[in-house]
Amino acid sequence: MSDLNLSMVENCIANLSYPTNAFIGGDFVPAMSGKTIASISPITGEEITEYASCDKEDVDKAVSIAKKTFESGVWSKMHPTERKKVLLKYADIIEKHTLELAVLESLDSGKPVSDCYTIDVPEGVHAVRWHAEYADKNYGQASPSGDGAVGIVVKEAIGVVACIIPWNFPLMTTMWKLAPSLAEGNSIIIKPASVTTLSTLLLVKFAAEAGIPEGVIQVITGSGSVVGEALGMHPDVGVISFTGSTEIGRKLLEYSSKSNLKKIVLELGGKSPMVIMDDVKDLTNAVDNALFSSFWNAGQSCTANSRIFVPKSRQDEFVELMIQRMDQTWRIGNPLDPQFNYGTMIGKFHYDQVMGYMNTFLAEGHNLAYGGKSLTIGQGLFIQPTIFVDPEPSSDLMTTELFGPITSVIGVNSNEEAVAMANNVEYGLQATIFTDNLVNTFKYARAIKAGTVSINRYCEGDITTPFGGLKMSGFGGQDNAGAAHDQYTEIKTIFADLTQSSC
């Protein structure tokens, strides 16, 4: 249990000052055009503030400053141990502002403030510390070239990095990308999702206090089709690290091919499975994880396990237990009140999309076990956690990333059938297996096509394990662990032929 209570949140809101401007060259500045976008809270339906709606000209300015800063060496040539110290200080400062960041994130996104306070901000801070520590530990290699030569392979910062962020875990994803790219000495441009700009702008406010030189970090707010495209097409951006939808991932590949062939790292969508093997005796742990993976963040999670495969002989028991544990452990209500662990959808556009799917599934006569409706709680955009049973294999319930609180429990005749069905989608981001048997653990973990397979607990690994997708869930690199640093560095070979007299 955390120390957070409602009066702490209310006091914090009373004293919050909302960021409005983009962050370029160490200053908060309006868009050159003066245009703004309203930020609407999905909890109250009211405008929180307005923020800068940037255009290509703002992107050009930010990239030019980032490039100059990189070339100046003020950060890129700073000794890695010094960069480490600065980033560790940055993590400490961010941690001191946990409440403010968590409240702003909740207000802007409808995520439960208790999650933001106990998961999103602390895990983001942990990531900043982990990657800071890696700054002076990321070794290159010496080649086995024999006595006549010395070949060394060094890793060098790329230069200007752009990070394009989705709205479902705005702060955490930003910190996942910002920390390793800065640890390696790059200058960065962050493009937050339009519906969740505020926490990112607050985060970068603390950069100078930590000692990060101006021009190393910029945040360009505005529409994806304008700012995102301008970054994608820019000749001086060396890499784009993108987390978001498959559709926009394709566009980024196009921008790269039409411009400077910049490196594109794609962390995309998923339709992740959970497989309960036929050897599991007690279903309670699996059921609690099925609920968490399906309904955490109101299902707006790229690794949501929305296809849960259960032996046919245990299916009724599993679904009954899910409904029982749902009512015992999930509390739906005002996301700003820490007693609730289930909040709203991100915004009206997405609420309408998910309810559109829901109404189609109901009209098609799918077997509904729980939920199926929207909920009226204040002005919030709530959708009930929803469980369907045994949808047709061709249904969107089985093939499409719904990005909402809708999950399906599917009865299977064998472990092999479950794994074959688990693999029968175009995505491969994450999978969870429940088993009491060591052989099944490794046999089926190897058989499932996913970037991460977790055993007996739904998770995405931790900061020490690479996170990324297979198949249409992405390629080009991973977040977390040393792999994240590979996204933001390029390899150079330096080769000395010792047989030449001039060497």
Q: Which residues sit at the interface with Mg ion, rule CB under 5 A? A: 108, 195
If binding is defined by CB under 6 A, does position 407 make contact with ligand NAP?
no
What tokens were used for 43?
A: 């909890």
From the list ligand NAP, Mg ion, none, pick the one residue 244 interacts with, judged by a Cβ distance below 5 to 8 Å according to partner type: ligand NAP
Q: Which of 132, 302, 398, 481 binds ligand NAP (CB under 6 A)?
A: 302
If binding is defined by CB under 6 A, does position 269 make contact with ligand NAP?
yes
Q: What are phi and psi of 47, to 5 degrees?
A: -70, 130
Given the complex with Mg ion, which of 192 and 476 has the nearer CB atom?
Answer: 192
Q: Would you call 184 a catalytic residue per the annotation? A: no
Please tell me whether residue 421 adopts helix, strand or coil conformation. helix
What's the CA gap between 94 and 321, in Å, rounded?
A: 40
Q: Which of 19, 110, 215, 232 binds ligand NAP (CB under 6 A)?
A: 232
Please tell me whether residue 225 adopts helix, strand or coil conformation. helix
Segment lying near ligand NAP (by CB under 6 A), choices 6-14, 202-210, 244-252, 434-442 = 244-252
Given the complex with ligand NAP, which of 86 and 165 has the nearer CB atom?
Answer: 165
Q: Which of 83, 129, 131, 191 binds ligand NAP (CB under 6 A)?
A: 191
Q: Is 270 exposed, middle or buried (0-12, 13-18, 19+ CB in 10 A)?
A: buried
Buried b (16+ CB within 10 A) or exposed e, 479-501: bbbeebbbbbbeeeeeeeeeeee
If binding is defined by CB under 6 A, does position 262 make contact with ligand NAP?
no
Strands 27-29 and 22-24: antiparallel
From the list Mg ion, ligand NAP, none, pick the one residue 265 interacts with, judged by a Cβ distance below 5 to 8 Å according to partner type: none
Instruction: Compute how many other C-beta atoms are within 10 angstroms of the C-beta atom of residue 179.
Output: 27
HSE-CB for 170 with a 13 A CA cutoff:
28
Shortest reach from residue 252's CB to ligand NAP, in Å:
6
Q: Which of 160, 164, 265, 389 binds ligand NAP (CB under 6 A)?
A: 164
If binding is defined by CB under 6 A, does position 400 make contact with ligand NAP?
no
Interface map 105-144 toward ligand NAP (x if CB under 6 A):
----------------------------------------
338 closest CA partner among 64, 502, 118: 118
Per-residue 3-state assignment (H helix, E strand, C coil) for 247-287: HHHHHHHHHHHHCCCCEEEEECCCCEEEEECCCCCCCHHHH
If binding is defined by CB under 6 A, does position 165 make contact with ligand NAP?
yes
Which residues is 470 bridged to in the sheet? 428
* Candidates 209, 267, 320, 392; catalytic one: 267
Please tell me whether residue 361 adopts helix, strand or coil conformation. helix
From the list ligand NAP, Mg ion, none, pick the one residue 161 interacts with, judged by a Cβ distance below 5 to 8 Å according to partner type: none
From the list Mg ion, ligand NAP, none, pick the one residue 220 interacts with, judged by a Cβ distance below 5 to 8 Å according to partner type: none
Distance of CA 266 to the CA centre of its chain: 11
- Binders of ligand NAP among residues 432 to 491 (CB under 6 A) are 469, 474
Q: Which of 105, 108, 184, 229 binds ligand NAP (CB under 6 A)?
A: 229
Shortest reach from residue 292's CB to ligand NAP, in Å:
17
What's the CA gap between 68 and 147, in Å, rounded?
A: 41
Which residues is 163 bridged to in the sheet? 190, 241
Shortest reach from residue 393's CB to ligand NAP, in Å:
21
If binding is defined by CB under 6 A, does position 265 make contact with ligand NAP?
no
330 closest CA partner among 398, 271, 386, 402: 386
Given the complex with ligand NAP, which of 345 and 389 has the nearer CB atom?
Answer: 345
What's the CA gap between 127 and 88, in Å, rounded?
A: 10
Shortest reach from residue 222's CB to ligand NAP, in Å:
7
From the list Mg ion, ligand NAP, none, pick the one residue 403 interacts with, judged by a Cβ distance below 5 to 8 Å according to partner type: ligand NAP
From the list ligand NAP, Mg ion, none, pick the one residue 108 interacts with, judged by a Cβ distance below 5 to 8 Å according to partner type: Mg ion
How many residues belong to the chain? 503
If binding is defined by CB under 6 A, does position 401 make contact with ligand NAP?
yes
Shortest reach from residue 253's CB to ligand NAP, in Å:
11
Shortest reach from residue 425's CB to ligand NAP, in Å:
13
Q: Which of 76, 109, 174, 194 binds ligand NAP (CB under 6 A)?
A: 194
Please tell me whether residue 68 adopts helix, strand or coil conformation. helix
If binding is defined by CB under 6 A, does position 94 make contact with ligand NAP?
no
* Candidates 12, 54, 163, 302; catalytic one: 302
What's the CA gap between 180 and 157, in Å, rounded?
A: 10
Sheet holding 27-29, edge to edge: 27-29, 22-24, 217-219, 187-191, 160-164, 239-243, 263-267, 474-475
If binding is defined by CB under 6 A, does position 248 make contact with ligand NAP?
yes
Q: What are phi and psi of 337, to 5 degrees?
A: -100, 115
Instruction: Answer whether 105's CB lies under 8 Å from 120's CB.
Output: yes
Shortest reach from residue 83's CB to ligand NAP, in Å:
25
If binding is defined by CB under 6 A, does position 257 make contact with ligand NAP?
no
Q: Which residues contact 403 (CB under 8 A, 6 or more apart)?
A: 168, 269, 299, 300, 304, 350, 354
Size of the site for ligand NAP (CB under 6 A): 30
What's the CA gap between 128 and 463, in Å, rounded?
A: 10
If binding is defined by CB under 6 A, does position 288 make contact with ligand NAP?
no
| Binding residues vs ligand NAP (CB under 6 A) | 164-168, 191, 193-194, 223-225, 228-229, 232, 243-245, 248, 251-252, 267-270, 302, 401, 403, 429, 469, 474
Known catalytic residues are 267, 302
